Structure 1
Amino acid sequence: MSARERWAPRPTADPWPQIAERVRRFAEERRLEPRHLLVLLPFAQHLPLAREAWVRTCPAGWMPRFETTQTLRERLPAASPAADGPSGDIATDRLAAARMLGQKQGLKEMRERDPAMFRHWVHGVVEMAHEFMQVAHAVAPARRAQWWDRAHAALGAHGGPGAMELTLARVALAWAAQREAGPADALFALRPQGWVAVHAGGPEPLVRALLDEAEAPVLEIDTDPAGDALFEGVSPDAQLLPCLDFEDEAQMAAAQVLRHLAAGEAPVALIAQDRVLVRRVRALLARQAIAVRDETGWRLSTTRAGACVAGLLRLAQPRAGTDDLLDWLKSGFTAGLAEDGAEGLAALETVLRRRLWSALQEVHEPALPERGRVLWRAALEALAPLHGEPRRVSLASWNDRLRSALQAGGVWDALAADGAGAEVLRALRLPGAAADDPGFLQQARAASMDLADYAAWVDSLLEAGAYAPEAPAQVEVVVTPLPRAMLRPFAAVVMPGCDEQRLGPAAFAPWLSERDRAALGLPTRVLSLQQQALAFAHLLRQPRVSLLWRQSQDGEPLDPGALVERLQLERSRRADLQVPVEDPRLRVPVQPSPQGPTAPTAPGLLPEALSATGYEALRNCPYRFFALYMLGLAEADELDDEIERRDYGIWLHAVLQRFHELHRQAPLDEAGEVERLVAIGAQERAAQQLDEAAFLPYALRLRELARLYVRWLFEHERGGGQVQASEVKLQARLPGFEQVCLKGTLDRIDRVRDGQGEATLVVDYKTSRLDTLKNRVKEPLEDTQLAFYAALLQLAGQAPDGGALRAMYLALDGNEVGQAEHQDVAASAQLLLEGMRQDLERIAGGAALPPLGEGTVCEYCEAQGLCRKGHWSGPDEPLATGVASA
């Protein structure tokens, strides 16, 4: 054993001058040449700091060898892994683990029965194996066999809950044990004249093992505070800033960073305790053009490049939709698919939304415009390699197919030219993007997958991979995790995410208990808490520290983290540490400018045609009529396979139209008509290409609806009713205002003969409840639709000369079928025509169109983003005389 010394520097934000001086004295006292000293540091970010401190302390002579275990490992030859053991590469080992588990009794069936659970087991086995190797390979090679024996003994078999997880942990241990040589074994052969180890956040296990085997003098420099003096050396300028919620915390963190920079305090460390929150802070800082270096990186799955590759695989799935196609085409990497790509994309999207084609199979190519058709064909050509035969091939073949698909139209080149895109291609080990790895190629050729398996494998690698964008030469803000901020002198530190949910121990795979993990020397929850406490204590030594936490999350109250509470207790004990809380955001006075409702005029935009729905919109809210019918604005239709109320209505009208045609030609008894109606419903669903699974709730209600409807129809016929026509399209000029054409489609026209004589009956189908419809016609002058249809029927000359005119709503909501009649509809029709003429004349004369809607009219209005009624200030101002028909 070597002579060993321990020393602790004075608590300070920049301990490197002290460390350099102590290393110099250690070499001097031990009569060692500094260049033959090996100084091991915790992180690579400490290397330039240590070297600069040495140059300032000892400007002449040789410098010690400052390294980390990782940088040493990169310079020394690594031992080759065993043929059957883990390689340490996550992509290669997941393939090997899947192959290994798939050969074990009982697990092969799970792979077929529950692929998601099997993938979870594979990922867990790889994670556990890597943990075992990390601990085992931090043990000296001569003592490693004993560690494997103790580990196998610690994972003894037992039954009960968790037995499956423990079995898989033993599989991972046995697999990891096959790699006897570790990547750092060459470090144990190093023979420097002296060792110096700088500890921060606790000693690294590998460093401890190297020092235990050292034969030369050893100096251990422990920068960590003692447990009973955790907050010794805390900065007096440490601020505790409670925030209301997520956005408030992000704003205050960004404002605090900007305040430090404005005071000339740079660089500022932004601690990435909550990655989602830090991403929001970065977005706020980007508005001020702040130079940021992000040391944590981005998950590849969150980059545009990752989304492009994953989107292409999703697009190749059998149930891919046109929404998936548009997402992929808008990824930013598909500009080379076709000339005039932007115009072609706009044309293609317009047609897809207008036709409501939600599935790729629904797209009818001849109906696409020329530019859209070119882009559509280019996208199909890109997908062709992924649809090749056979459907189940090796992963290596899938990688070749994906490469061919990405090369179509220059997508590959666009990804390769992008920093994140190039990293995505390397992470997936695509040919031509990454150096050949014999171990991976061997596993990739042996792994058999279908498209769904391959897409899941790609998603898992994108989720595991990270991309660190290139940082500018001069940075003002450094985004770094809490441990890597130790021993780095920053001008100021801002740490959001200090609440009880985010400031806590690291998460571990839940396959082993804390006792098992401790017995194996694996990281435990207790050790994680201790390491976090030490890193937090180091952070508080910085000259200016701001700790922020939100007080609520999704309506639930949050307390500060346990470490923050310990700091608050220490402050209450030492009053000199109290710092007034100050909101860093600037208060900018704003002169109030209340906005009231608008009232546009547009005499030149009067529509040439008017429907019952359009005129009802005018009566309910003139501004809605202005936006939707005069400006012609409309929401873009959603591209999905969900059956909406409109889809159901179109289907039901088509079903009833066919039913009445057949009923009139060949009537059946009541039971036969019910079966006929059900059969027509199924035929129409197929004809309209409505997704069978999505339509199932409506299909289940159809038989009951058919029974109720046929019963009502037979009673209607026994009372003298007879269907004359269905889905009748009519149009006519408005009397007194001939430039406007009235249009409409009447669901049904019946002829009724009863005790009151003959009458023409207008029937309008509704899927609303019967009591709702009865309330609608309770005040006849308030009902627009039936009066409009009655007027249109008269103006178009379709009403018979003899007999009265009647109109009613027929409720078809699945639970009841009943009628709600509009009383004296002929009189209402005449009043409606006169009111319509007057309203249109006022609009043509320049009358204002204010937003007068209330209640459900506003709740479901597509134009509410234009009138912005919810943003009006104060009571409504008096408006100019506008359109408000009775």
Structure 2
Amino acid sequence: MSPPAALFDRIALRILAAHPAPDLRDITVLLPNYHVVQPLAQALMRAAQRPALLLPQMVTLNEWAQGIALESPVAADSQRSALLYQQLRKQKWFEQADLWSMTQELLVLFDELTHSLADLPGDADAFAAAVQQAYQARKNSTLQLEARLVFELWHAMQSGEELDAGRAYQQRLAKLAEQARQPLFVLRTSDWCALEQRFLDEYAGRAAVEVFDLRKMDAQWGSLLHESSAGLRSQSIASLGGKLGFFAATSLEQEARAAAMQVRLWLQAGKRDIAIVAQDRVVARRMRALLERAEIMVADETGWTFATLSVSTVLDRWLTALQSDFYHHDLLDLLKSPFIFADMTASERKSAVYQLEQLLRKQGVVAGLEKFSALVEHETVLHQPLARLRQAAALLEQHKKRTLAEWLAALRESLQVLSIDSGLLQDDAGMQLLGALETWQQELTADEGRYRFPEWRRWLAQQLDTQTYRDNSIDSQVRFTHLAATRWRAFDAVLLLGCDADHLPSVADGGRWFNDAVRSSLNLPTRAINAERQRDDLLSLLALNDCVLVTWQKDRNGEAGLLSPYLEILRDLHLLTWGDDLAESELPAYLAAEEARAVELPQSAQPAPVVQKEIIPTGVSISAYNSLVACPYQFYARHILRLNELDEVQEGIEKRDYGERVHAILQRFHERYPRVSEHSRDTMEVALRQISEEVFADLLQQDFEARAWLARWFKALPAYIEWQMVNEAQGWRYVESESAFDWELEGVRLRGRIDRLDMNGQQKRVLDYKTQSDQVLRNKLREPGEDVQLACYAYAHEAADAAFLSIESGKVKSVEPEGDVPLLAQLNAERLVQVMGKIRGGTGLPANGIDQVCIHCEMRGVCRKGEWV
């Protein structure tokens, strides 16, 4: 007979000895969880040896207490939280603190104080004295303030007519003890809290109580790890070979892979009830993904907080977009959620988001719903979504103060306008979330406190972080659970996941109120008590299960990781007794075999794709031609595959904007004053300055940084006027600027736009304004033909001369290419015709750019340079 069955049979015999079969309805059995009902009922049937048996009441203590009616109503936790927050806000003790977080901590502390009421001092001074004594300090104003604050707030919370959850539980247990008439049997593995133990003592004064404590019933595991270190060294332990194993992983990924592999091996061996006790939830997430990839679903008894689920993410995105005045990133994140506009088809939503994103990136609108609406004037598909956003935003006016219930009502109404509620109703977690919002709204109807939008949003985030969602739709042989939920349970196999010293014992943070010495003096739970309960739960799990694997990370982010001290002691005892450290020996081989079977992709080679004729462009811009010369593969990726990066919405002025404004200023200036030398230098400088201010006016309103760019341009004005007068003295005259061209060559069209065209008699010269230094421009022209811009401009306008005009650092200089410009222009045009002909003929486009080109190329991740064989 298995150890669990033998233990349950012992319990069944004791119950039947105290109360003969077949009618056991007059007795009650307190269970740690309802999973214990079935094995205990089976044990009672075996021991009674009867065809039928009227089973006893088998219930958990909390469920038993909930069946007791109370005369006073019980306040919901949301009501208590709001009331305490208002008290803290009213007193203004902690103006800079996160009051909602503090409220949550205090409520937990108040429940603990309520459970310890029997030993609590009766007034604030006595309470402060007890705290002072526990700290072993002389009179200290800070400690006295802390003690008085806690005591007075606790009393204020207790003064209302409604009961809080702590007092309700206390009163229910007291009534249960008063009604004690029938025998009570209790199954437990660790000590109860003070309130529950007090109930048990009071019950025992009126009726028979028998406690089945696994620590006392199991001789092998009962006292293990409870003795001093000297005693531990003298202990021996039964062999655990084949029952318990340890796997020390070198990384989170390896731990998750090893755990998933072990589950698969157990299933293959026929084990049908596998528990994964997840101490490290990060590893658990990764392991779950690996199991689902292997088509093994995992049931989850523990659940996840709503704050970690995608259904809550859409709420956060909506409120974030609202609070940021619809900052473009926040708006796009919201619109890409699968839950918004659920009344539209998926293709309609995707099309609308794509069009809006393209518009935002093209127009550079950073934020503002009204600006976005004006932007989509001609995009009818976007009118309705943006109109609904405006309608929903109007419901949540941020400048108002409202009650929590009013904010929740406005939120729910806005979700209806955006059809987010319809999207959430199609998801089980979403349905529970909507139900929680409705419940909180109803609970808080009577609360009259008024809150600003940020206060309410922080409250909502905290509520979502305290509510748990459990997916009950998955029925699987593999389940996630937690250590406390394994009490008195036996499984075919148990995986203890993430059992390093940081996660087992997982002692909860005590918060900012009282240290362990004070908590102990007030009979409150301490970190040591919480750790002891986990130790006892761990030992009971090992006592009831004979197939357990422990995993942990011995290396974590480059630092050595330690095994849980409880398991470390157990492993060392086994090593001393049997010479076996219980290291798992088979998993490494399985993992190595799995890695060996992994698909190895061929190494990358230098690409040189051949392009089909039908997708070869018939027209080429100057920038595309430059790209073709710099790297044919870059031209292929950018201008044939059109893999160009999306434009970013500019949130500040960049040098590109500065260059565009300089072009616009000079175009307007020369169209107004074709002959600068006909006017005085001072007049021209004033005129140019005035035009500059006009062109920069819109930027100056949007961004303060525009003033710095304008000042940078003003610095160059005298030098530019001087250069232009010298230019005219040499016979050159301004003709036109920003003129587009589209030349038909053999098999390809060349298109572009020149900045400026001058003439000297019949001689033409093209100029290209650059806000770069003259040295950078000379480097561009060092190798004839490498930069095609000036040569193509000269060819398009049949110009004999061409030059870059450097306007930088208060200097204006002309930079001309060396050699014969018309010849260079003709050679560039012929080269374009020849290259495009070869491409049409099937010549590949190799990735052969030099390092200076590749270092700034956004297509490097496509050609995978650096990974070629």
Give the TM-score normalised by the residue count of structure 1.
Answer: 0.81
Give the 3-state SS of the residue equivalent to 1:393 in structure 2. coil
The separation in 1 between residues aligned to 2:708 and 2:352, in whole angstroms, is 42
What is the one-letter code of the residue matched to 1:195? L
Match for residue 685 of structure 1 among 683, 699, 708: 699
Distance 1:34 1:572 in 2: 47
Q: Deviations over 1:813-872 (max 9, x none)?
A: x79987765434715434322322221121122111122234354444343444344554
Is the counterpart of residue 573 in structure 1 residue 580 in structure 2?
no
Change (3 A) 1:259 1:646: farther
Deviations 1:298-331 (A, max 9, x none): 2212223212223332333352134433333332
Change (3 A) 1:551 1:635: farther
User: Please, which of 206, 220, 225 is the counterpart of residue 211 of structure 2?
Assistant: 220
Q: Deviations over 1:421-468 (max 9, x none)?
A: 12212322x3xx67943xx2211xx12234333333222222222211
Give the secondary structure class of the aligned counterpart of 1:632: coil
Aligned partner of 2:634 in structure 1 is 624
Shift of 1:99: 1.5
The reply on whether 1:731 has 2:738 as its aligned counterpart is no
2:672, 2:431 → 1: CA distance? 63
Q: Which moved more, 1:713-722 or 1:535-544?
A: 713-722
Q: Where in structure 2 are the equivalents of 1:69-218 lying within 5 Å?
A: 69-78=61-70, 80=72, 87=75, 89=77, 91-105=78-92, 110=95, 114=96, 117=97, 120-137=98-115, 151-155=127-131, 169-170=150-151, 172-178=153-159, 181-190=167-176, 191-214=180-203, 215=205, 216-218=207-209
Which of 527, 530, 548 matches 1:545? 548
Query: Structure 1 residues 844 and 282 mapped into 2: Cα distance closer, same or farther (>3 Å)?
Result: same
Report the residue type matching 1:184 in the other structure: Q
Q: Is the 8 A contact 1:746 1:764 kept in 2?
A: no
Cα distance in structure 1, aligned partners of 2:424 and 2:818 = 68
Q: Which amino acid aligns with 1:498?
A: C
- How far is the alpha carbon of 1:479 from its aligned partner? 0.6
Which residue does 1:316 correspond to in 2? Answer: 322
Structure 1 CA distance, aligned partners of 2:824 and 2:83? 78
Contact 1:704–1:815 (Cα < 8 Å) also in 2: no
Deviates more, 1:413-422 or 1:666-675: 666-675
- The structure 2 residue matched to 1:746, chosen from 724, 740, 754, is 754
The TM-score normalised by the length of structure 2 is: 0.83
Pair 1:76–1:633, CA change in 2 (3 A): same
Which whole-Å CA distance do the structure 1 matches of 2:784 and 2:152 have between them? Answer: 78
**Whole-Å Cα distance in 1 between the matches of residues 200 and 124 of structure 2?**
21
Q: How many residues get paired?
A: 815
**CA 1:741 to 1:435, structure 2 compared with 1: closer, same or farther past 3 Å?**
closer
SS in 1 for 2:338: coil
Give yes or no for contact 1:381–1:408 (8 Å, CA) kept in 2. Answer: yes
C-alpha distance in 1 between matches for 2:144 and 2:683: 65
Any conservation in 2 of the 1:231–1:567 contact (CA below 8 Å)?
no
SS at match of 2:325: coil
Contact 1:273 1:481 in 2 (8 A): yes
Structure 1 distance, partners of 2:425, 2:182, is 47
1:651 deviation in Å?
5.2
Match for 1:706: what amino acid? Answer: W
Matched, 1:287 2:293: yes
Cα distance in 2, alignment partners of residues 486 and 685 from structure 1:
68
Q: 1:303 aligns with which of 294, 299, 309?
A: 309
- Note if 1:850 corresponds to 2:834: no
Question: 1:553/1:678 Cα in 2 relative to 1: closer, same or farther (>3 Å)?
Answer: farther
More divergent stretch after superposition (678-687 vs 515-524): 678-687
Contact 2:85 2:100 in 1 (8 A): yes
1:877 corresponds to which residue? none
* 1:236 aligned residue (213, 234, 241): 241
Pair 1:50-2:7 in alignment: no
Query: Using a 3 Å threshold, how does the CA distance of structure 1 residues 790 and 836 change in structure 2: closer, same or farther?
Result: same
- Partners of 1:81 and 1:675 lie apart in 2 by 77
Q: Does structure 2 conserve the Cα–Cα contact (< 8 Å) formed by 1:130 and 1:176?
A: no
Does the residue aligned with 2:716 lie in a helix, a strand or coil?
Answer: helix
Distance 1:807 1:748 in 2: 10
1:513 to 1:409, Cα distance in 2 relative to 1, 3 A = closer
Cα distance in 2 for partners of 1:520, 1:213 equals: 21
- What corresponds to 1:484 in structure 2? 485
Q: Report Cα offsets for 1:686-729 as digits up to 9, x if no partner.
A: 57xx5x3xxx5x44642652354235425534654789478613
Superposition deviation, residue 133 in structure 1:
1.5
Distance 1:545 1:663 in 2: 89
Distance in 1 separating the partners of 2:733 and 2:556: 60
Match of 1:636 among 632, 643, 646: 646
Residue in structure 2 matched with residue 777 of structure 1 by the alignment:
781
| Equivalent-residue separation in structure 2 for 1:651 and 1:161 (angstroms) | 62
1:186-230 Cα distance to aligned partner (Å, 9 max, x none): 222330433333232433333311122231333233224321369
1:275 to 1:847, Cα distance in 2 relative to 1, 3 A = same
- In structure 2, do the counterparts of structure 1 residues 81 and 711 end up closer, same or farther at CA, with 3 Å as the change threshold? farther
The answer to whether the 8 Å contact 2:716/2:810 transfers is no
Q: Contact 2:127–2:151 (CA<8 Å) still a contact in 1?
A: no
Question: What whole-Å deviation, never above 9, does each CA across 1:106-126 have from its counterpart, x for those lacking one?
Answer: 55xx3xxx5xx3xx2332133
Query: Would the alpha carbon gap of residues 788 and 648 (structure 1) be closer, same or farther in structure 2, given more than 3 Å must change?
Result: closer
In the alignment, structure 1 residue 709 sits paired with structure 2 residue 709: no
In the aligned structure 2, how far is the partner of 1:57 from the partner of 1:248? 47
Distance 1:671 1:166 in 2: 74
Which residue among 254, 260, 264 is the counterpart of 2:260? 254
Cα distance change, pair 469–31 in 1 and its aligned pair in 2 (3 A) = closer
The aligned residue for residue 361 of structure 1 is 370
Q: Is the 8 A contact 1:202 1:531 kept in 2?
A: yes
Change (3 A) 1:517 1:716: farther
